[in-house]
Chains A and B, each alone.
Chain A
Amino acid sequence: MADSKAAGGFIGNLGKIYGGYAGGFIVFTLILAVLEQMGVPNKIIGYCFVILTIGVYAYIGILSRTMDLSEYYVAGRKVPALYNGMATGADWMSAASFISMAGGIYLGGFNALGYVLGWTGGYVLVGILLAPYLRKFGQFTVPDFLGTRYEGNGARLCGVIVLFCASFTYIVAQCFGIGIITSRFLGIPFEVAIFVGLLGILVCSMLGGMRAVTWTQVAQYIILIISYMVPVVWLSTKDYGIPIPQLTYGQALQEIAQFEAKLGVTKHFTDAFTNAQGQFTWTEFNNFWALVLCLMIGTASLPHILMRYFTTPSVREARTSVAWSIFFIFLLYFTAPAYAAFAKLEVYQNVIGQPIAQLPAWVQNWSQVGGLLTIKDANSDGILQLSEFVINQDIIVLSMPEIAGLPYVVSGLVAAGGLAAALSTADGLLLAIANALSHDVYYKMIDPKASTARRLLVARGLLVGVAIIAAAVAGTRPSGIIQMVAWAFSLAAAGLFAPLVLGIWWKRTTKIGAITGMMSGFAVCLFYLVMTRYAPETFKDMFGTNLWWGIRNISSALFGLPVAFVVTWVVSLMTPEPSKEMQDFVDSIRVPRGVVAGAA
Chain B
Amino acid sequence: MAEKLNAAQMQRYWTRTSRLMWSIFVLWIFFSFVVPLFAVQLNTIIIAGFPLGFYMAAQGSLIAFVVLCVWNAVAQNKIDEEFGVHED
Say yes or no: B73 contacts A319, CB within 8 Å: yes
Within 8 Å of chain A (Cβ to Cβ): is B8? no
Tell me the residues in window 93-122 of chain A with beta carbons closer than 8 Å to chain B beta carbons: 110, 113, 116-117, 120-121
Query: How far, in Å, is A79 (CB) from chain B's closest CB?
Result: 16
Complex interface residues of chain B between 1 and 40 (CB less than 8 A to chain A) = 1-2, 4-5, 10, 13-14, 17, 20-21, 24-25, 28, 31-33, 36-37, 39-40
Interface residues of B in 64-87 (CB under 8 A from A): 65-66, 68-70, 72-73, 76-77, 80, 85-87
Q: Which of A116, A273, A316 contacts B80 (CB 8 A)?
A: A316
Q: Is the CB of A330 within 8 A of B62?
A: yes
Residues of B within 8 A of A322 (CB): 69, 72-73
- Does B2 lie within 8 Å of A593, measured CB to CB? yes
Q: State whether A316 touches B62 (Cβ < 8 A).
A: no
Chain B, interface size: which category?
A: 35 or more
Q: Are A250's CB and B28's CB within 8 A?
A: no
> Are A594 and B1 in contact, CB atoms less than 8 angstroms apart?
yes
Decide if A327 touches B66 in the complex (CB within 8 Å): yes
Does the CB pair A591–B5 fall under 8 Å? yes
Q: Could you give, for residues 571-591 of chain A, a 1 whenever the CB lies within 8 Å of some chain B CB and a 0 otherwise? A: 000000000000000010011
Contact with B along A203-246 (1 / 0, CB 8 A): 00000000000000000000000000000000000000000001
Interface membership of A51, Cβ < 8 A: no
Max count, chain A CB within 10 A of own CB: residue among B20, B33, B54, B77: B54
Q: How far, in Å, is A408 (CB) from chain B's closest CB?
A: 30
Q: Residue A271 at the B interface, CB < 8 A?
A: yes
For A315, give its contact among B33, B53, B54, B87 (CB under 8 Å).
Answer: B87
Cβ B49 vs Cβ A123 within 8 A: no
Contact B32 A270 (CB under 8 A): no
Q: Is the CB of A116 within 8 A of B72?
A: no
Contacts of B40 in A (CB 8 A): 271-273, 280
Q: Is A592 an interface residue (CB 8 A)?
A: yes
Interchain nearest-CB distance for A320 vs B (Å): 5
Cβ of A76 < 8 Å from any Cβ of B? no
Interface string of B40-52 (1 = CB under 8 A from A): 1001000111110
A253 at the interface (CB under 8 A from B): yes
Instruction: Tell me whether A110 and B85 are in contact (CB under 8 A).
Output: no
Closest to B14 in A: A590
Contact yes or no, B62 A120, CB < 8 A: yes
Are A592's CB and B87's CB within 8 A?
Answer: yes
Q: Are A319 and B77 in contact (CB under 8 A)?
A: yes
For A451-477 the 0/1 string (1 means CB < 8 A from B) is: 000000000000000000000000000
Please determine whether B57 and A116 come into contact, CB atoms closer than 8 angstroms: yes
How far, in angstroms, from A330 to B68 measured CA to CA in the complex?
A: 13
Instruction: Tell me the chain A residues, 478-532 only, with Cβ under 8 Å from chain B.
Output: none
Given contacts A117-B32, A117-B36, A292-B32, contact A270 B10 (CB under 8 A): no
Inter-chain contacts of A127 with B (CB < 8 A): 68-69, 72-73
**Which A123-140 residues have a C-beta within 8 angstroms of B?**
123-125, 127-129, 132
Report the minimal beta-carbon distance from A388 to chain B, rounded to whole angstroms: 28
Task: Write out the residue numbers on chain A whose beta carbons fall within 8 Å of the beta carbon of B50.
Answer: 250, 253
- From known contacts A113-B54, A316-B86, infer whether A334 and B59 are also in contact, taking CB-CB under 8 Å: yes
Question: Residue on A with the closest CB to B35?
Answer: A117
Contact (Cβ within 8 A) B62 A314: no
| A190 CB-CB contact with B under 8 Å | no
Q: Which residue of A lies closest to B61 (CB)?
A: A117
Known contacts A128-B21, A319-B72; A330/B66 CB under 8 A: yes
Nearest-neighbor residue (CB-CB) of B9 within chain A: A591
Contacts of B2 in A (CB 8 A): 593-594
Which residue on chain A has the smallest CB distance to residue B80? A592
Alpha-carbon distance A323/B25, docked complex (angstroms): 15
B44 to chain A, nearest CB (A): 11
Min CB–CB distance B76 → chain A (angstroms): 6
Assess whether A366 is interfacial by the CB under 8 Å rule.
no
Known A113-B58, A296-B32; contact A593-B77, beta-carbon cutoff 8 A: no
With A117-B61, A273-B40 as known contacts, state yes or no: A593 contacts B32, CB within 8 Å: no
For A271, list chain B residues within 8 Å (CB). Answer: 40, 43
Question: A323, B73: Cβ atoms under 8 Å?
Answer: yes
A272 and B69 contact, Cβ closer than 8 Å, known pairs A120-B62, A285-B37, A591-B85: no
Using Cβ atoms and an 8 Å threshold, which residues of chain A touch B53? 110, 270, 272
Task: Give A352 Cβ to nearest chain B Cβ, in Å.
Answer: 22
Q: Are B72 and A270 in contact (CB under 8 A)?
A: no
Scan residues 42-74 of chain A and give those whose CB is less than 8 A from a CB of chain B.
Answer: none
Inter-subunit contact B62/A272 (CB<8 Å): no
Q: Which residues of B contact A173 (CB under 8 A)?
A: none
Q: Is A170 in contact with chain B by the CB < 8 A criterion? A: no
Q: Is the CB of B49 within 8 A of A120?
A: no
Does A253 contact B54, Cβ atoms closer than 8 Å?
A: yes
Which of B4, B58, B73 is close to A594, meaning CB atoms less than 8 Å apart?
B4
> Interface readout for A319-351 with B: 1 if CB under 8 Å, 0 if not?
110110011001001100100000000000000
Asked if residues A121 and B39 are in contact (CB atoms below 8 Å), the reply is: no
A418 vs B53: C-alpha distance in the bound complex, in angstroms?
Answer: 29
Can you list 14 A-B pairs, Cβ within 8 angstroms, ordered by A? A121-B62, A125-B28, A128-B24, A272-B39, A288-B36, A314-B87, A316-B86, A320-B73, A323-B69, A330-B65, A334-B58, A591-B5, A594-B2, A595-B1
Apart from A125-B28, A254-B49, what 12 extra A-B contacts exist at CB < 8 Å?
A110-B54, A116-B58, A116-B62, A117-B36, A117-B57, A117-B62, A121-B61, A123-B69, A128-B28, A334-B62, A590-B10, A591-B5
For the complex of A and B, 5 pairs with smallest distance between CB atoms: A250-B49, A272-B39, A337-B58, A113-B57, A250-B50
